[in-house]
Amino acid sequence: MEHHVGLIGYGYMAGRHVKTAAREDINMPVTAVFDVREARREAADADGFRVYDNLEDFLADGSFDLVLVATPNHLHCHFVCAALEAGYHVMTEKPVAMSSEEVKKMIAASEASGRIFTVHQNRRFDGDYLLFTRTVDSGLIGRPLVIESRIHSTDGSGAMFNWRAMADHGGGMLLDWGVHMLDQIVYYAGRPETVFAVVRPMQSEEVDDYSKIILTYGDGLTVQVEVTTYSPIALPRWYAIGERGAVRVDSIGSDSIHVRRIREDRKGEKDAPAYRKTDWEYRHQGTYAIDSFEEFDLERGDIDDDWGNIYKNIRDAMDGQAEPLVKHDEILTVMEIIEAAFESSKRGETVHLA
């Protein structure tokens, strides 16, 4: 079945979507564009698309069946709900919305219309992420105890710019890069139980450009997510400690992962002195020692890191041949973590997710 895309917003990200959707193996070309800025409409017209200066005429166009929302963040909910109510399937750029209440409104509109609503979380197909999760899942380091995910830019100033520097537009690094990183964690590890965070500006005037978020899980897993574009020295993109070793991916786009795992270890027993105010006693203890490690690198191999897979998935979902990869409960969980992070940072307390 043939599918076509209508774009709301013709800025930087729209250009990427136009190229991806038109790929021969995806074949979902853009046919129409709505943008409130005349210069953007002129650019879309020059690129051969039908252009609209108002939402009503755009939604009445009829040449597309999927709407892609690529506007500033604070407008996502309005346009997503309008497109769903008009009978279109919808994929929006991240972050999905400004609040969990907006997300719930979008989900309700999707369920009422019977149309697909999803988010363009293309970084689920980042090669470094897939290499990291594949290695951890392989059991090489045993059950994971700690996972750390970072985006550290060694060249950036840290300052946000244009509408991403405007708080009322949903600007800030947590809602920019952070939402990708949290989506990766939720997709891999599920919904956490608690959130503790520091979210603050270092260089920007009114939005955050630094976040550190600690997530805890009922099975004992602890996850740290840290993002900033001001980091003259970068720490590893991915790091995990497991019961039998650790792994490290140095940077985004890395083709290899470093593994250091236990080769030989031993358990024993001993009696250790324990002291009271006036006397002491022996207490029996278990002991543990690591005698040697093995250390090696693994290459990424045949990992499928094609961001176009997001489009292929929604195409197949529209044809009834697949479920949307980015699901409603995951979308809502990511937004609830972000809200909890802001709340935790403001209060200086751990927030428990319901």
Rounded mean pLDDT of 339-354?
Answer: 97
pLDDT value at 183 more than 80:
yes
pLDDT, position 229: 81
pLDDT, position 354: 84
- Confirm if 289 and 265 have CB atoms less than 8 A apart: yes
Structural domains for the chain: 5-120 (3.40.50.720), 124-305+335-352 (3.30.360.10)
pLDDT, position 328: 98
- Confirm if 209 and 229 have CB atoms less than 8 A apart: yes
Rounded mean pLDDT of 266-274?
Answer: 98
82 Cβ neighbours under 8 A, 6+ residues apart: 55, 59
Q: In the chain, at which residue ranges do the beta strands (DSSP E only) sit? A: 5-8, 30-34, 50-52, 66-69, 89-92, 117-119, 144-152, 194-200, 210-216, 222-228, 238-242, 245-249, 256-275, 280-299, 351-352
pLDDT value at 157 more than 80:
no
> Per residue in 269-296, is it b (16+ CB within 10 Å) or e — as a string?
eeeeeeeeeeeeeeeeeeeeeeeeeeee
Tell me the C-alpha distance between 139 and 172, whole Å: 37
Tokens 């929604």 found at: 314
Rounded mean pLDDT of 7-36?
Answer: 97
pLDDT value at 159 more than 80:
no
pLDDT, position 154: 86
DSSP 174: I
Q: Quote the distance between the C-alpha of residue 301 and its chain's center.
A: 23
Tell me the C-alpha distance between 166 and 25, whole Å: 38
Angle at which helices 100-113 and 328-347 pack, to 10 degrees?
170
- Tell me the pLDDT tens digit for each residue of 219-268: 999 999 999 988 999 999 999 999 999 999 999 999 999 999 999 999 99
